Amino acid sequence: MNENNFYSVDRLLEFGMSMAVAQQMIKSMNNMMANMHIPGSMNHLYSFEQSVPNNIFYAIINGKQEGPFSETEFARLVANKKIVKETYIWKPGMTDWQLAGEILSVLQIVAITPPQFNGGQKESKNEN
Domain regions of the chain by residue span: 53-112
Residue 33 has pLDDT above 60, yes or no: yes
Residue 20 has pLDDT above 50, yes or no: yes
Residue 56 has pLDDT above 80, yes or no: yes
User: HSE on the CB side for 113, CA within 13 Å?
Assistant: 21
Query: Average pLDDT of 33-44?
Result: 62
Domain at 53-112, CATH from 3.30.1490.40, 3.90.550.10, 3.40.50.2300, 3.40.1710.10: 3.30.1490.40
pLDDT bucket at 3, cuts 50 / 70 / 90: low
Residue 19 has pLDDT above 80, yes or no: no
Strand order in the sheet with 88-90: 64-70, 56-61, 88-90, 98-99
pLDDT tens across 77-102, in order?
Answer: 998 889 999 999 999 888 999 999 99
Report CA 54 to chain centroid distance, whole Å. Answer: 5
Residue 58 has a pLDDT of 95
Instruction: Look over the chain and give the mean of its residue pLDDT values, rounded to a whole number.
Output: 77
Contact 16, 27 (CB under 8 A): no
Strand, coil or helix: 109: helix
pLDDT bucket at 49, cuts 50 / 70 / 90: very low
